[in-house]
Structure 1
Amino acid sequence: MHMNSERPAVTVLGLGMMGAALAGAFLAGGHPTTVWNRSAGRGDDLVAQGAVRAAAVGDAVAAGQVVVVCVRDYDAVREVLEPVRAALAGRVVVNLTSGTSQEARDLAGWAAGHGIGYLDGAIMMTPQGIGTSEAVILYGGEQELFDESRPVLERLGGGATYLGPDTGIPALYDVALLDIMWSTLNGFLHAAALVGTEKIPATAFVPFATGWLGGVASFLPPMAEQIDAGEYAAHDATLETHLSPLGHLIHESRIRGVDADAPGRTRAMVERAIDDGHAADGYARLIEQMRER
């Protein structure tokens, strides 16, 4: 692919909240932008900002050098792109639809078979953050294709982060980072339920929670080094040391009528590791149980 202008024409397929935000960012960056959505009635605001609304997906594809797809799932991506695969040859498709790493790799194989440039991406931001410096979007695919597309992709904000030629890696990062998000949110909800039994408002507790999260984040780099090395010697607290406060958390939860299943699962992992002879190891040792299970 060769971008033939300073502001290459972009097509956005899919005008849900995220797709509309992507199109808005391209318009704000000065790119001729064509939009299409399977169901009619979306995109009026974008048209008012200067976008061209295509009546058919084929017309939309023909208008863009870069075709950005953001729809429900990978099945929907196939349904949209398969009928216009011939028109996509020589263009670059940037798929920002959420899915699995295998789905991304399969779609990349389909695109390669039809002479279509393909990048797969994962958006780690809400629609409201698209186009801002805080936006994080991860990409995988052919390096040359990414480098040529980067000036366009950077319009979405925060720079474009390239993770290498494997199109499945952004989706893997996506689910792994969401794993951290859900675990953190669930931990906060559990903690808020605990302090709430004493009529302490969640808003009063949240400064303590956010301050503590900063401390927890500082634990991650040394843990990551231990994981990569496969060596789990305790530098701060042993697994045996963790066992007692986990018991306190479970007891406190039960007597206050708060669900204790999550801390119970954590304690069970610690107990198994101790039973396996790792009482003196650090918390990072538990990754081996997660891998086994």
Structure 2
Amino acid sequence: MNDNSQTPVTVIGLGLMGQALAGAFLKAGHPTTVWNRTSSKADRLVAEGARLAPTVGEAIKAGSLTIICVTDYPALHELLDTTEVELAGTMLINLTSGDSAQARETARWAERRGAHYLDGAIMAIPAVIGTDEALILHSGPQSDFEAHRSTLDALGTVTHLGADHGLASLYDVAGLAMMWSVLNAWLQGTALLRTAGVDAATFAPFARQIAAGVADWLPGYAEQIDSGSFPAVVSALETDARAMAHLIEESEAVGVNAELPKLIKEMADRAIAAGHGGEQYPVLIEEFSKPSGG
């Protein structure tokens, strides 16, 4: 156990994730108080040593810090924004999913109530909470994060992103964009190869190798984006656009959906029309940075 193993914690919200969070604290030796609207969801945790508080207010009073993991931000405010709940001087760590505007507004609300507040995002499934595999992002005052880091370590690999309370939510959706984009690209390729009798399991190792190779490009491409200079060291965008056309043509020829490559080629064509054809692929950041239809 770490030196902070006796720090009392509270977990509000006992869905699958909330139960996993409370279980991780119990396993690490923290006195753990829980509350949930449907109290029966606490039965297993109580059997493992948790204390079920009769009210939200009493649950918050019991812990040095309170983890909130409920359905959404309106549910959070419904539970906590009442005169029966005393928040002054408390440490709230919100791991409820939402957007960056909600995170920032909730931080201002918590400040008005006299509470310390960190917003967060869980980049993991319940089964891995409490292991190094569980990545949990936090944003808000670094002093609040550091004051409770040794307790939060019970949940997994915890990271502080910055003082802006909206950063955890933004990293969350940026991570989802990466995840879905990689999966969608793999599904496009799998669909193409299946027309020739190649199954997904056969393609997967090759696809993984390609994905890893592309990932290695990111630091250098990031330098181009941050500097606003896109010399075509590897390939010019107009060359990439011709390859995109080939992908579209091949997809259509074998009867595979071509909507995704068409969408990306439309963005590339706009960038080329704007005079960026001789620059490298990351110049498309200009298209991605525009609002839809802009």
Per the TM superposition, whether the score is higher than 0.5 is yes
1:167 equivalenced with 2:180 (yes/no): no
How far is the alpha carbon of 1:83 from its aligned partner? Answer: 2.3
1:268 equivalenced with 2:266 (yes/no): yes
Unmatched tracts of structure 2, length 5 or more: none
- Residue aligning to 1:52: 51
Percent identity over paired residues: 48
Give the residue type in structure 2 aligned to 1:102.
Answer: A
Distance 1:61 1:171 in 2: 24
Higher deviation after alignment, 172-181 or 50-59:
50-59
- Residue aligning to 1:282: 280
Give the residue type in structure 2 aligned to 1:173.
Answer: Y
How far is the alpha carbon of 1:291 from its aligned partner? Answer: 1.5
Secondary structure of the residue aligned to 2:93 is strand
1:220 equivalenced with 2:228 (yes/no): no
Give the residue type in structure 2 aligned to 1:13.
Answer: I
- Residue aligning to 1:192: 190
Describe the superposition over 1:213-254 as per-residue Cα deviations: whole angstroms up to 9, x where unpaired: 110101111110000000111110101111221111101111
- Residue aligning to 1:130: 129
Count of matched residue pairs: 289
Higher deviation after alignment, 38-47 or 71-80:
38-47
Distance 1:176 1:15 in 2: 26
How far is the alpha carbon of 1:54 from its aligned partner? Answer: 2.0
Distance 2:197 2:58 in 1: 59
Give the residue type in structure 2 aligned to 1:256.
Answer: V
Q: RMSD across aligned C-alpha pairs, in angstroms?
A: 1.6
Distance 2:150 2:237 in 1: 48
- Residue aligning to 1:258: 256
Give the residue type in structure 1 aligned to 2:43.
Answer: D
- Residue aligning to 1:42: 41
Higher deviation after alignment, 128-137 or 82-91:
82-91
Contact 1:85 1:114 in 2 (8 A): no
Give the residue type in structure 1 aligned to 2:100.
Answer: S
Distance 2:134 2:251 in 1: 37
Unmatched tracts of structure 1, length 5 or more: none
TM-score normalised by length of structure 2? 0.94
Within 5 Å, give how 1:92-241 maps onto structure 2: 92-158=91-157, 160-241=158-239
Distance 1:8 1:123 in 2: 22
Give the residue type in structure 2 aligned to 1:206.
Answer: A
Distance 2:244 2:269 in 1: 11
Instruction: Tell me: CA distance 1:45–1:235, structure 2 relative to 1, closer, same or farther (3 Å).
Output: same
- Residue aligning to 1:291: 289
Distance 2:204 2:273 in 1: 36
> Which stretches of structure 1, 4 residues or more, deviate above 4 A after TM superposition?
none
Secondary structure of the residue aligned to 2:148 is helix
